[in-house]
Amino acid sequence: MAISNKVGPPVTGEDFFGRIRELSQAHRYLNSNHSLVLSAPRRIGKSSFAKKLVEDKTNSGWKCVYIDLEGVQSQEDFLNILITKFDNSKIWNQAADVTEGFFNRILEGVKGIGPIKFDFSKTDAPQNLYSSLAGAIDHSKDTLVVIDELPLFLNIIDKEDTLHREAGFLLNWFRSLRQVTDTKIRWIFCGSVGLHAFTSMRNLSMTINDMVSFDFDALSQEEAEGLIIALANSLNLPISTYSVKYIIDKIEWHVPYFIQLLFTTIKDYPEAKNGIPQQMVDEAFDHLAHTDDLNTWYERLAEYNGFKEGAELLLNALSIADDGLSRDELLDMYSQFIDEPPLRANTKFSLILNMIEHDGYIVREKGGIRRFHSPLLKKWWYSKFVE
C-alpha cells in the first residue's frame, strides 16, 4: 500500500514512516514501567509517534487511551472527555462502583461547580471529584494513557491564575496516579508547546520530574530520503537520486511536515510527471515561503504569554542574519528593547532563548551562534514580518 501525503494531521497505519530507533527506545521505557514526556519541537510528529505507540501497545494486548485536549477550554470539558475516554477503554477497577450513576454523580458535581472556572480557593469539591475518579481506575493491567496537547490546556486554565493553583493541582493529580504502588499504567504527555517550559516558568517542575524526558528530532537523512522517494512514488512522480539529495540539502532540517509541504506544491506542477528538477524544487520552496501554510509558527507564540514580543524581536533579527547571531548580539538587542536592569533582562532573555530553541524555531551552533533551524521557516518569517 502506497503512503499518502497528509500535511498537518497526525498520520497512522501505512502513512507512518520511519522512527524505528525511537520506537524501539520508547517501547523499552514503557515496558520497564516508565512514563514519558515527548519532548520535541513543533511539527516534528509527536502526535503521530504517540498514536503509533498506542497502536503497537493495543496490538500487544494493552489497554490504551488517547486523549487530545486541543480545543478543550474548561475543567468541566476536561473531566467529561477524560471520563468518556476512560469508560470507552474500560480501565476501571472491579471494586469501583462504575455504574452510570457513578459517572453522573461526578459530572453533576462538575456542573454544580460551574462550567467556567473551578474555584480551588473556596471549595473542596474539585479535589473530591478528582479523588472519586482516581479511586475508580484499575492499576493492575498494562495500560497506556496518552494526553496530547496537555500544555495547551494547562495554559488555558492558568491564564488568569497568578498562583497557578489549577494547573498545579492537575499536574499533581496526574503525579499521584503515577505514584500508586505497583501501578501498571504508563503515561505519555505531549503537545505543540513544551511541558518542561510551562512547568519551569511556574516552579512546577517537580510535578513531572518522575517522568522520562523522551527527546527526538527530525528524521535521519536515510529516513528523510526514504520518505521523499515514498511520496514521489505515491504521486507517480519520477525522481532521480540527485533530486532526492537536492531536496534533502534544501530542506536541511528533515522534518516530515516540511517534506510533505514541499510535495503538496510540487505535485501541482504539470511538468513534475517527467521528473523533479532543481529549478522546480527552488520554485516550490519560494512559493511556500510566501503562503499561510506556516502561520501556526507565529500563532503559537501567543502561548508565550508575556514573552511573545521578546520572542518576535529575536526571530525578526535572526531572519535577517545570513550566518546567525551570537548570544551576546541577541542579548544586546533584547536589553535595549526591554529597558530593565541587566540581571533581570538576562534572566528573561535566557528563558525566551531556551523556549524558541526547544520549540524548534532556532538551533544553537558551535560558538553559541543561533540561527533558524529551518531555512524554509526563516525565509517565511522574513517575508511575513520583516521584508
Q: For residue 277, give its domain range.
A: 221-288
Amino acid at 195: L
CA distance 215 to 26: 10
Largest CA distance in the chain: 69
373 in the same domain as 334: yes
Q: Mean pLDDT in the chain?
A: 86
Q: Does the residue 239 lie in any domain? A: yes
Q: Does the residue 9 lie in any domain? A: no
123 in the same domain as 40: yes
pLDDT above 90 as % of the chain: 53
CB atoms within 10 A of CB 258: 25
Task: Provide the number of structural domains found in the chain.
Answer: 3
> 384 pLDDT exceeds 80?
yes
Radius of gyration (Cα) for the chain, nearest Å?
Answer: 23
Q: Does the residue 10 lie in any domain? A: no
Q: Does the residue 7 lie in any domain? A: no
88 in the same domain as 25: yes
Q: Does the residue 6 lie in any domain? A: no
Task: Yes or no: say if 38 and 50 are a contact pair by the CB < 8 Å rule.
Answer: yes
158 in the same domain as 60: yes
CA distance 125 to 117: 12
124 in the same domain as 70: yes
pLDDT above 70 as % of the chain: 87
107 in the same domain as 249: no
Task: Yes or no: say if 135 and 96 are a contact pair by the CB < 8 Å rule.
Answer: yes
The last residue of a domain, from among 267, 288, 309: 288
Q: Does the residue 336 lie in any domain? A: yes
Which DSSP state fits 146? E
Amino acid at 150: L
Task: Yes or no: say if 316 and 386 are a contact pair by the CB < 8 Å rule.
Answer: yes
pLDDT band at 48 (very low <50, low <70, confident <90, very high): confident
Higher-confidence position of 51 and 196? 51
For 296-346, write each residue's pLDDT tens digit. Answer: 899 888 878 789 999 999 999 999 999 999 999 999 999 999 888 888 899
318 in the same domain as 209: no
Q: How far is CA 199 from the centre of its chain?
A: 15
In sequence order, the 6+-apart residues with CB closer than 8 A to the CB of 82 are 67, 133
Q: What is the pLDDT of residue 302?
A: 84
pLDDT band at 114 (very low <50, low <70, confident <90, very high): very low
Q: Does the residue 14 lie in any domain? A: no
The last residue of a domain, from among 154, 188, 215: 215
172 in the same domain as 30: yes
163 in the same domain as 229: no
CATH at residue 345: 1.10.10.10
Residue 68 zone, left/alpha/beta (φ > 0; ψ -120 to 50; rest): beta
CA distance 187 to 148: 11
Q: Does the residue 118 lie in any domain? A: yes
CATH at residue 29: 3.40.50.300
Residue whose cell numbers read 518542561: 196
Q: Which residues pair with 145 in a beta bridge?
A: 65, 187
In the numeric block, which cell numbers belong to residue 290?
A: 510566501
pLDDT band at 15 (very low <50, low <70, confident <90, very high): low
Q: What is the pLDDT of residue 117?
A: 44
- CA-nearest of 9, 3, 10 to 53 is 10
CA distance 384 to 41: 21
> 64 pLDDT exceeds 90?
yes
The last residue of a domain, from among 288, 304, 335: 288
Task: Yes or no: say if 5 and 263 are a contact pair by the CB < 8 Å rule.
Answer: yes
In sequence order, the 6+-apart residues with CB closer than 8 A to the CB of 350 are none
For 200-245, write each residue's pLDDT tens digit. Answer: 888 999 999 999 998 878 888 998 999 999 999 988 999 999 999 9
Task: Yes or no: say if 222 and 18 are a contact pair by the CB < 8 Å rule.
Answer: no
